[in-house]
Amino acid sequence: MTAMFTVRSPADGTPLAEVPEQGPHDVAATAQELREAQTEWEAIGFPGRARWLRRYRDWLLDNETALGKTLQSETGKPWFEATIEVPYVVEVINYYTKNGARFLAEETPRPHNAITMTKRSQVLLRPYPLVGIITPWNFPLALALMDGVPALAAGAAVMVKPSEFTPLVTRQAVAGWAEIGAPPVFACVTGHGPTGAAVVDNVDYVQFTGSTRTGRIIGARAAERLVPFSLELGGKDAMLVLDDADVDRAANAAVWGAMCNSGQMCTSVERVYVLAPVYDDFVAKVVDKVRTLRQGRDDQSYRFDVGSLANENQLAVVERHVEDALNNGAKALTGGKRAEGGTFYEPTVLVDVHHGMTCMREETFGPTLPIMKVDDVDEAVRLANDSSYGLSATVWSTNTARAEQVARRLEAGSVNINDMFTNLFALPVPQAGWKQSGVGFRNGGAAGIRKYCRPQSIVSARVAPRSEPTWYPYSPVKSKMLARVMRFTMARDVLRRLGLR
């Protein structure tokens, strides 16, 4: 009998559901079924696959509220945030069904040299048969489907392994694929780390989102199997507020960027560097704004802005970072402690912080906002780059050209200027973590779907004599003739072409 595990509400610990702990045999059996269905899925071509994806989009919209409720129950998000993921995924479906045919179009490159002059060359993009997607708990629906959709559109079968903390909405969404009667090329397996490891052992491409620690293990295992992988990992995103910034906008963005999803976003604002002339104004506005935030266990009536953390482990990390900061001389202008009830931590603004503190170096992934005063732009850039992570960053200045110059000096895969998280909604641009924040990228127009494909070259003879000059038997006459023809077509100048030099 398959073992089960309990999924609980992080807001109050109540049990929500029992879910199977699937072992290596279950995962291998699911992989086998997916592989069998994938051949036909690829064969129906992009238009056929796009038709199914569009029907799936309708199902997602028709079940938006039910999906949001499940997602909210297992994540503790406020309703506003629990209802963002379905529209996000629908946009991903719209983007790839609209542009996918063009992104996957076959190419027929022109011959380059004499040997291939009479051949026809084609380059096809054939999918990896089975893509494994392993996801964390912070955006359980969006992170499974923003990668699942382009993989399915490319013609791959997809096996998704959600976090053990939040498997319910992913299971529900994958069940929707079966409910619309789509070919059985999309499956969900549930369990803890070993289930994820079994996914890595059974697929042809691994798409992982999660911590840097797990990403490293997965990358090593995938490399042993010689299967490609893409890792979207942790971050320690910096916000640089220059002396000519619109301080009101920057302060509002900082609070949203740090507290949204209780700070559990890979691209959360994790540290802020503010130039001295606007520092006091910025901090005062941030503190005022944070004090207005309503924290609690939301239902569907938008009563709260900030929810719980996803689990006790995450709460412990936040407590450790804040304690370390306070013990080393930082001040908490708001919060600084856990709140009543489940895994809630009060929105916390920290000042007098420095790079000797854990909160400025390790990923906190909680509702904290450490703010540091800096003398000039060079210091802000130096400190922003003084990190093992390089996911994304933001720059704030009313002089966009100046902000762009700063952005080009940052070691981060994405930079938003005078904006927060907007690159995540810009589907034509890649999201790529630099340094310890990842390997590869997700989304990003054509590249976001082509990553799930292998190029296949087909070169065919348009003229087919009995033999070719390069084939047996070798002879001095043939060799010299060939050399002359090749030299004539390859060399740059007339003398070399004619063999006179």
Per CB under 6 A, residues contacting ligand NAD are: 134-138, 143, 161, 163-164, 192-193, 196-197, 200, 209-211, 214, 217-218, 232-235, 266, 363, 365, 391, 433, 438
Work out how close the CB of 437 gets to ligand NAD at its nearest, in angstroms, rounded to a whole number.
Answer: 6
Pairwise CA distance, residues 198 & 220, whole Å: 14
385 burial level (CB within 10 Å; 0-12, 13-18, 19+): middle
Pairwise CA distance, residues 270 & 322, whole Å: 12
Q: Please identify the residue of the shown chain whose CB is closest to the bound ligand NAD.
A: 196
Nearer to ligand NAD, 155 or 219 (CB): 219
Contact 236, 361 (CB under 8 A): yes
- Catalytic residue at 188? no
Work out how close the CB of 346 gets to ligand NAD at its nearest, in angstroms, rounded to a whole number.
Answer: 21
Catalytic residue among 232, 270, 346, 363: 232
Contact 199, 221 (CB under 8 A): no
Work out how close the CB of 24 gets to ligand NAD at its nearest, in angstroms, rounded to a whole number.
Answer: 12
- Residue 460, classed as helix, strand or coil, is strand
Nearer to ligand NAD, 164 or 298 (CB): 164
The per-residue b/e assignment along 352-374, b for 16 or more CB within 10 angstroms, e otherwise, is: bbeeebbbbbbbbbbbbbbbbbb
Q: How many CA atoms lie within 13 A of 434 on its CB side?
A: 12
Contact 442, 147 (CB under 8 A): yes
Catalytic residue among 188, 266, 359, 453: 266
Pairwise CA distance, residues 65 & 307, whole Å: 18
Nearer to ligand NAD, 155 or 191 (CB): 191
Work out how close the CB of 465 gets to ligand NAD at its nearest, in angstroms, rounded to a whole number.
Answer: 55
Nearer to ligand NAD, 246 or 319 (CB): 319
Work out how close the CB of 370 gets to ligand NAD at its nearest, in angstroms, rounded to a whole number.
Answer: 17
Work out how close the CB of 312 gets to ligand NAD at its nearest, in angstroms, rounded to a whole number.
Answer: 12
Task: Name all contacts of 481-489 with Cβ < 8 Å and 24+ positions apart.
Answer: 485/114, 486/113, 486/114, 486/115, 489/113, 489/114
Work out how close the CB of 475 gets to ligand NAD at its nearest, in angstroms, rounded to a whole number.
Answer: 59
Contact 427, 147 (CB under 8 A): no
Nearer to ligand NAD, 200 or 357 (CB): 200
Nearer to ligand NAD, 164 or 346 (CB): 164
- Catalytic residue at 453? no
Pairwise CA distance, residues 187 & 459, whole Å: 36
Pairwise CA distance, residues 181 & 2, whole Å: 27
Phi and psi dihedrals of 271, rounded to 5? -160, 145
Contact 5, 164 (CB under 8 A): yes
Give the residue numbers marked as catalytic: 232, 266
